[in-house]
Amino acid sequence: MGPLQGLKIIEMAGIGPGPFCGMILADLGAEVIRVDRASAAGTGSRQEPANRGKKSIAVDLKSEDGVEIVLKLIEKADAVFEGFRPGVMERLGLGPDVCQNRNERIVYGRMTGWGQTGPLANAAGHDINYISLTGALAAIGRNDSSPVPPLNLIGDFGGGGMLLALGIVSALLETKNSGKGQVIDAAMTDGSSLLMTMMYSMHQSGFWNLERQSNLLDGAAHFYDTYECKDGKFISIGSIEPQFYELLCEKADLSKDDFGDQMKRDTWAYKKELIQKVFLNKTRDEWCELMEGSDVCFAPVLDMSEAPKHPHNVARKTFIELEGVTQPAPAPRFNRTENEVLLPPAIAGEHSKEILESLLGLDSNECERLLSSGSVV
């Protein structure tokens, strides 16, 4: 069992970064109970990795009995989290004040794009909008094209779901000392700004230009970029340190006349043209034979069908198969409290009766009343 074994966490069902946060906490050993809306009962898929390791209860949040069931769950929980727009939980009768009146130790996580406060707090948005506001999106892409969305990894997942999981665990640690819970405001604008810390530091120190593809780590340097190979596939090179760059030159047979003065920026564009021609002479697999596992700082660029089959990922069991779906394994790894996925992805409402009886301790008559009334499905 993972290091969070013994903790009970309520996840108010949502999309994207919310389920991802719950997955992380479940992977780490917490008992995560997902509260789905009654209208969603029976829906869902066993093939949805973000819902692995959780139990589900489907509740009519518009009924008094339904809201009361959620409050009873919160009485027995260590944390609850939601990803709705500001004010939605309050209108449901499940805001932080109400929940903390029922359980003063409850940690209450709130995740939104813009945050709970500020001029944009109530506006709609998506990852691409949140990272636009932080300087992150403007910095990503080639200098001859518009900024390139880095999937929705930065705002939704790195600066959202992952940050909220860290916030919840941090608040739970503090509760051990204070005996009191608190509210977490996890904004994706804050989180994606935080992920840009090094770039802001480099910019203010004069080592990062605002123009895309003009810096050490954004594709300007010939020794830190991706290159096409003879077979149309790609490799990545990250030979920043002098000794690694020297090895790159040796293995790729790059002449010192053309590739000397590694850090001379006004030669980078010319050197990129030359090195691309070199890499087009061999296939990706041939370059792997020459460089993979060496100190060149090299890797093949793999797609999602290739990555799970790479020998390194296979050796480390970086991917698992659950319900016929290949997916990333729980991470990070612990040497004593090993992570494991204990349950397949839940169908909405799959565990409703079990949760009413086993966790809340309701008798059979009360369970039947709630289920027959539709307050719980």
- Burial of 189 from C-beta contacts in 10 A (0-12 / 13-18 / 19+): buried
DSSP-derived 3-state class of residue 227:
strand
How buried is residue 150: exposed, middle or buried, by Cβ count under 10 Å (0-12/13-18/19+)? middle
pLDDT value at residue 19:
98
Angle between helices 188-195 and 162-178 (to 10 degrees): 100
**Contact status, residue 237 vs residue 248, Cβ threshold 8 Å:** yes
Residue 221 near residue 268 (C-beta atoms within 8 A): yes
Q: Tell me whether residue 310 is one of the annotated catalytic residues.
A: no
Does the annotation count 156 as an active-site position?
Answer: yes
pLDDT of residue 282: 98
Which 3 state secondary structure label does DSSP give 112? strand
Chunk the chain into consecutive blocks of 10 residues (it has 377) and report each block's average pLDDT, rounded to whole numbers. 96 96 98 98 96 98 98 98 97 98 98 98 98 98 97 98 98 98 98 98 97 97 98 98 98 96 96 98 98 98 98 98 97 95 96 97 97 97
Position 156: which residue type? D
pTM given for the model: 0.96
Catalytic residue among 36, 60, 127, 156: 156
Q: Single out the catalytic residue among 65, 126, 203, 310.
A: 126
Q: Please report the domains of the chain, with CATH numbers, ordered by start residue.
A: 8-195+322-373 (3.40.50.10540), 224-313 (3.30.1540.10)
Measure the CA–CA gap between 180 and 182, rounded to whole angstroms.
Answer: 7
